[in-house]
Amino acid sequence: MVSPPPGLPASSLLQVLLLGLSALAPASGAQFQLHVPSGLDQVHAMEGEEVVLPAWYTFQGEAATARPWETLTLMWFLEQEGKDLKQVLAHISGVTTNQDGASLVYPMPSRNVSLRLQRLREKDSGSYRCSVNVQDKQGTSRGHSSKTLKLDVWVPPAPPSCHLLGTPRVGTNVTLSCKSPRSKPAALYQWERSHPSVEVFFAPVLDAISGFLSLRNLSSSMSGVYVCKATNRVGSASCNVTLEVSSGQ
């Protein structure tokens, strides 16, 4: 790992390295191409799992496998809004350095430079830039390019909290609230009464986005166990609250 000169932050050093790699690219590098799957602008994965960000390079008219003359400089960076550029993995002069959980899918030498990310966390979301520079044995650059893939790490809803707002007496109004503290994409909420009989609620008494269920002009027959389920694309979780409608003042 290269240490930044005194007074130069690591993020600035990464920018300098990228500019340096670009400067090495030859004017006639049309035969060299760095690829990512066509139409793959964004990759989705679930927290705790692993994902592969696919990338590979080719030389027009040559075999797909790496050639003996190739010297590869490869870097994967994570770009996140409002944060410094972060180096995730580098392969320079045959030596690979990487952040925890990041690795190459294929051992070097290989023209497949795909990145594997394991034990994903929500904070791993962002734009991953792959920068490749290939030189021959004489140190002449044979091609340079970079490509970006956006990763969005989804999180299933955490167990929500259910609350009763108001005093449940006959003729009054109350609101049942339900909120998951963590969910990506944002959870939608569904309320139903599970006991003594099943009843499912919909708009306008249910606000599926906020998780509020409005019960008006209460009667004793509305007593029971109310269950809220928070759901997004990757999972669900639930909580419940018991409503006991009294006739007292």
pLDDT band at 8 (very low <50, low <70, confident <90, very high): very low
Domain count, the chain: 2
* 173 and 107 co-located in one domain: no
pLDDT score at 22: 43
pLDDT score at 70: 86
Out of 18-32, 126-140, 182-196, pick the least confident. 18-32
* 142 and 173 co-located in one domain: no
62 pLDDT more than 80: no
* 234 and 149 co-located in one domain: no
pLDDT score at 23: 39
pTM to 2 decimals?
A: 0.78
Domain final residue pick, 154, 175, 198? 154
Residue 19 is classified by DSSP as H
> In percent, how much of the chain has pLDDT > 70?
87
User: By the 8 A CB rule, do 87 and 28 touch?
Assistant: no
DSSP reduced 3-state for 200: strand
Question: What tokens appear for 49 in the block?
Answer: 């799992």
Query: Hey, CA dihedral for 221, 223, 227, 228, is it positive or negative?
Result: positive
3 pLDDT more than 60: no
* 210 and 150 co-located in one domain: no
pLDDT score at 1: 36
* Residue 132: CATH number of its domain: 2.60.40.10
**Residue 219 within any structural domain of the chain:** yes
Q: Which structural domain, as residue segments, surrounds residue 224? A: 161-243
* 189 and 78 co-located in one domain: no
